[in-house]
């Protein structure tokens, strides 16, 4: 988000004129493609790409894994909520990859619902079967919850979260067997029909 206040004001004025929705928020389980599709989509729409995990790491000066290990999941969820709020409140039209667990918090779900009602956000659920996810996701890195029994964990998460992803999203895309490019292109078309334009 390296831009001057002038550029930012110009963008806000243009957004009002075009009535574009300010942000596209991608939700879904780990491995559903939020970051890779999000990056591609941001290029196609000419928007900034933001990943809430990266915001958390930047703000905490620590990796997601370190936060889980030293401060625990509860603290991570607190930081995640602050990151989501900051991303959604930014005036810069963005594509936001919201980490898989954001829907667990009622506050986060309210942030997404209010943004949607205000026509400020469009929330997209990248829906992927857990069999495909288990083949796609890499353990390690920022996914400590998948260190043990990734397939079982993803199945449990899908069970607990599907209704929540459904609750917060207005667009659902089935990503099974589809490439990043295919999903991003379908999404760009769908978003156009839903009033989201290129910046
Ligand atoms: C999590 C998803 C991860 C990361 C953390 C917890 C989850 O992000 O925030 O490991 O609970 O689903 P991605 O969805 O970007 O992989």
**Model confidence over 157-175: pLDDT tens digits?**
999 999 999 999 999 999 9
Which pLDDT value is given to residue 168?
A: 98
DSSP state, residue 29: S
With a Cβ cut-off of 6 Å, ligand 1 is lined by: 30, 34, 53, 64, 99-101, 142-145
Which pLDDT value is given to residue 39?
A: 97
Q: What is the pTM of this model?
A: 0.90
Q: Is the pLDDT of residue 15 over 60?
A: no
Please give the mean pLDDT across all residues of the chain.
90
Mean pLDDT of 62-91: 96
Q: Kindly give the distance from the C-alpha atom of residue 5 to the centroid of ligand 1, in angstroms, as a whole number.
A: 32
Q: At 137, is the pLDDT very low, low, confident or very high (cuts 50, 70, 90)? A: confident
Q: Kindly give the distance from the C-alpha atom of residue 28 to the centroid of ligand 1, in angstroms, as a whole number.
A: 9
Of 101, 134, 139, 150, the one to substitute when testing ligand 1's pocket (max ligand atoms within 8 A of C-beta) is 101
Q: Note whether 104 and 17 are within 8 A (CB).
A: no
Protein residue with its CA nearest to atom 10 in ligand 1 = 143
| Percent share of the chain, pLDDT over 90 | 73
Contacts of 97 (CB under 8 A, 6+ apart): 26, 34, 35, 38, 49, 50, 51, 52, 53
- Ligand 1 atom with least separation from CA of 53: 9
Cα torsion through 49, 46, 123, 77, rounded to 10: 10
Q: Kindly give the distance from the C-alpha atom of residue 165 to the centroid of ligand 1, in angstroms, as a whole number.
A: 14
Whole-number Å distance between alpha carbons of 2 and 171:
29
Whole-number Å distance between alpha carbons of 174 and 154:
17
Q: Is the pLDDT of residue 67 over 80?
A: yes
Which pLDDT value is given to residue 32?
A: 95
- Ligand 1 atom with least separation from CA of 104: 11
Which pLDDT value is given to residue 5?
A: 73
Q: At 119, is the pLDDT very low, low, confident or very high (cuts 50, 70, 90)? A: confident
Q: Kindly give the distance from the C-alpha atom of residue 51 to the centroid of ligand 1, in angstroms, as a whole number.
A: 11
């Amino acid at each position: 988000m390296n831009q001057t206040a002038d550029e930012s004001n110009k963008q806000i004025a243009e957004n009002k004129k075009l009535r574009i929705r300010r942000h596209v928020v991608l939700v879904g389980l780990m491995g559903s493609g939020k970051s890779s599709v999000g990056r591609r989509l941001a290029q196609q729409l000419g928007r900034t790409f933001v990943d809430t995990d990266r915001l958390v790491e930047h703000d905490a000066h620590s990796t997601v894994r370190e936060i889980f290990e030293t401060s625990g999941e509860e603290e991570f969820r607190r930081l995640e909520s602050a990151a989501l709020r900051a991303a959604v409140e930014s005036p810069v039209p963005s594509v936001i990859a919201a980490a898989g667990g954001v829907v667990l918090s009622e506050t986060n779900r309210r942030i997404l619902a209010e943004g949607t009602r205000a026509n400020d956000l469009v929330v997209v659920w990248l829906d992927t079967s857990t069999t495909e996810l288990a083949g796609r996701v890499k353990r390690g890195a920022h996914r400590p919850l998948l260190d043990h029994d990734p397939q079982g964990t993803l199945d449990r998460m899908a069970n607990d979260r599907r209704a929540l992803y459904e609750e917060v999203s207005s667009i659902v895309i089935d990503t099974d067997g589809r490439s990043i490019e295919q999903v991003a292109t379908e999404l760009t078309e769908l978003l156009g029909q839903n009033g989201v334009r290129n910046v």
